[in-house]
Each structure stands twice: as C-alpha cells, then as structure tokens.
Structure 1
C-alpha cells in the first residue's frame, strides 16, 4: 500500500479545477471524500477515482 494521499493542490491539479472550487464543494458536502489529518485535509486516490466514476453514472 504505497498510495500517496493527495493534497488540495494535488487534487485541484488532477481535476483541473481551482482550489477554491474544492473548498466550496467541501463546505457543501459535495466532491470526493476528504479526510482531516491533523489540520490538513487529504484525499485518497481511490476515493477520488470512485467519486469520478459516480459522476458518470448520474
């Protein structure tokens, strides 16, 4: 299990969207599931990929 957790910057770059959009999504309960690690929010790549797949199914 050597899957690096993504930072908000990593995720914004991966999705091609602004960081502020991710912050807004998080406050509204939308977007991939983020986990708080101390004072930082991190995203598991598997959660991000699953969320992307769900967007196509809607």
Structure 2
C-alpha cells in the first residue's frame, strides 16, 4: 500500500471484515484511528 488515505470501505475489503467492525475497533479497541468530521481515519 502507498501513503494515501483509505476509506473504511477499502480497509474493510482489504481485511475481509465488515465496516462496523472497523468502527468498533477504532472507537472501543484502541486501534490507531480517529474521527475527522464524519469520517474515521485509520493510521
């Protein structure tokens, strides 16, 4: 992967999980990510 920002859809597809799983990881599991407006940015 290059250094561009990925959407939650792209991350979910890449990892083979649901979008809700990504949101759960970021909000409650302490994964590297934060909200920017209505978007979640995963580092």
Normalising by the smaller structure, the TM-score range is 0.5 to 0.7
- The Cα offsets for residues 30-52 of structure 1, whole Å up to 9 and x where unpaired, read as 44x11333x122224xxxxxxxx
Which has more strand, going by share of residues? 2
Runs of 4+ in structure 1 deviating by more than 2 angstroms, as ranges, are: none
Residue number in structure 1 paired with 2:28 = 28
TM-score by length of 2: 0.64
Does the CA contact (< 8 Å) of 2:5 and 2:41 recur in 1? Answer: yes
Q: Which runs of 5+ in 2 are unaligned?
A: none
TM-score by length of 1: 0.53
- CA separation in 2, counterparts of 1:35 and 1:26? 7
In structure 2, the CA distance between the partners of 1:20 and 1:30, relative to structure 1 (3 Å rule), is same
In structure 2, the CA distance between the partners of 1:22 and 1:35, relative to structure 1 (3 Å rule), is same
